Structure 1
Amino acid sequence: MSGAVSINEETPDQPDVVTLLAAGDAYAASLYPAESNHGSSLDELRDSSVTFLVARLKGTVVGTAAFVEKDGYAELKRMYVADMARGLKLGKKLLQAIEEKAEARGLTVLRLETGISQPEALGLYRKAGFVETGPFGAYRPDPLSVFMEKHLHREGAGS
């Protein structure tokens, strides 16, 4: 499948988006026990502190990514690309869009938690400039988790 991908802020409770979120949940559940899955619920994604992005290819939902505004940083959540859209560099595009939105809101750090059994995701984040760090926020150490962060540079701001 090829063509132009659009990435826009949308609501997470649309039926086709909910279907993709469920596919992401099933994928995570196939890799990790429930106590090591930290995906945001649909209710959490509706919160005003969340910016939720949807990627569409010819109108079809093919990816999601969100961030939650926390105390001075943004936390990346619900980054997932449909199998049918693999190979389109969609993860990179979604991540760039998330970074731009976070920077536009004045946030200077983007953090995330992902799992050790997702080498493609880990590679994407490392290539994008994320570095491993310790648990943050309400997270506790988990041998199946990898915690990462990236300092964002707003235009006109010092580095």
Structure 2
Amino acid sequence: MSDTFLYTTPLDPRAKPLIDELIVEYDSRYGNYFSEEGAAAEMNRYPAEAFAPPHGGNFVLLIRNGETIGGGAFKHYDDQTAEFKRIWTRSDLRRQGLARKVLFELEAQAARQGYSRVYLTTGFRQPEAVGLYLANGYTALFDVETDPEVYKTLPFEKNISHLVATLAFLAEVPPPQAASHA
């Protein structure tokens, strides 16, 4: 079983099953709570270009044995901040750490693109997402003791400047030289 990341676009046909499942999931949790058009309107709120270089974003799929099993994206929020969107794993493959894998890959890619901070929001009916972010170093920008429905959307942030520094250091370190047997 080999999982690989593929950087592409939300328009890639390999992304469609994942996006379609995400729309169904959002609709089942929220219905038309946020919009009369439901989740499809939310999913199409941003143009695909927002999630691609050179516009400051990126879009990644997690592929296993040729099948898309997870993914996520980010877009430019401000010069220091990437806004993460749509971190998702196939529903039949949950509880395997795939969302965390996608989250860490997005953080690394955001750092490679020069961002030092991540901002994201999740919906109040997504306790799994809240747990994922809190367990992985994100700071809730809301009172976690209050009923989340009061807020509707739940914002988080994380400083990733340590990743920027680590990646810069690794880029400067030459690869190990093979031993010479002259």
- Using the size of structure 2 for normalisation, the TM-score is 0.73
Closer, same or farther: CA 101–39 of 1 in aligned 2, 3 Å: farther
Contact 1:8 1:53 in 2 (8 A): yes
Higher relative contact order (CA 8 A, sep 6+): 1
Closer, same or farther: CA 34–108 of 1 in aligned 2, 3 Å: same
CA–CA separation in structure 1 for the residues paired with 2:45 and 2:121: 18
CA–CA separation in structure 2 for the residues paired with 1:57 and 1:17: 13
CA–CA separation in structure 1 for the residues paired with 2:11 and 2:33: 23
Closer, same or farther: CA 42–115 of 1 in aligned 2, 3 Å: closer
- Larger CA Rg, structure 1 vs 2: 2
Contact 1:45 1:52 in 2 (8 A): no
Aligned pair 1:51/2:51, yes or no? no
1:91-141 Cα distance to aligned partner (Å, 9 max, x none): 01000000001111111110111012111111110011111116xxxxxxx
- Residue in structure 2 matched with residue 133 of structure 1 by the alignment: 141
- Residue in structure 2 matched with residue 10 of structure 1 by the alignment: 8
CA–CA separation in structure 2 for the residues paired with 1:144 and 1:126: 17
1:29-75 Cα distance to aligned partner (Å, 9 max, x none): 11123526684428623333320000111010111100001212100
Higher helix share: 2
Uncovered stretches (5+) of structure 2, i.e. residues with no partner: 143-149, 169-182
CA–CA separation in structure 2 for the residues paired with 1:117 and 1:66: 20
Show the 5 A alignment for 1:60-79.
60-72=67-79, 73-79=81-87
Uncovered stretches (5+) of structure 1, i.e. residues with no partner: 135-141
- Using the size of structure 1 for normalisation, the TM-score is 0.83
- Give, in angstroms, the shift of residue 15 of structure 1: 2.4
Judge which range, 76-85 or 31-40, deviates more.
31-40
1:7-33 Cα distance to aligned partner (Å, 9 max, x none): 121122122311210110111111123
CA–CA separation in structure 1 for the residues paired with 2:46 and 2:118: 22
CA–CA separation in structure 1 for the residues paired with 2:125 and 2:88: 15
